[in-house]
Amino acid sequence: MSPSLSIVIIEDEALIAMAIKRNIELAGHRVDRVFSAGEDAVAYALSTAPQLMLVDGRLSGEIDGIETMRRILEIQPGAAMIFITGYADEQFIERARELNPIACLPKPVDMNELLSLIVDLPA
């Protein structure tokens, strides 16, 4: 496990974002930023390359989590992502798979499962 792994959370529900952030930091990782709108995360990606992005499927703003990551991948090909969503229907999963995420986790997220995925990432 790399305690210096940098992570961005893209989640529009503040309580969920805070809970995920807290658990990740308690596990020794760094959460660089939390965004509620995909557009803000895309703008951030222009200047910074976090090692992992945790992305909700539905976000505030004009674009959803999949479109957010599609745009980030144009800036940072190969960016690592895990989708965390309560709306993982077949269409969402199919769209998400096109981006090669590490995983698509349902809400409420199992923090043990999420942290085990993060542990396996290279620093």
The radius of gyration of the chain's CA atoms, rounded to the nearest angstrom, is 13
What tokens were used for 9? 């959370």
Q: Record the pTM.
A: 0.93
Q: Output the six-digit token pair for 85.
A: 């969503």
Q: Please, which residues bridge with residue 61 across strands?
A: none
Q: Which domains does the chain have, with CATH numbers?
A: 6-119 (3.40.50.2300)
Report d(CA 26, CA 90) in Å as an integer: 33
Identify the residue whose tokens are 């043990």: 112
Per-residue pLDDT of the chain (123 residues; tens, 9 = 90+): 445 678 999 999 999 999 999 999 999 899 999 999 999 999 999 999 988 999 999 999 999 999 999 999 999 998 999 999 988 788 889 999 999 999 999 999 999 999 999 988 876
For 29-54, the DSSP string reads -EEEEEESBHHHHHHHHTT---SEEE
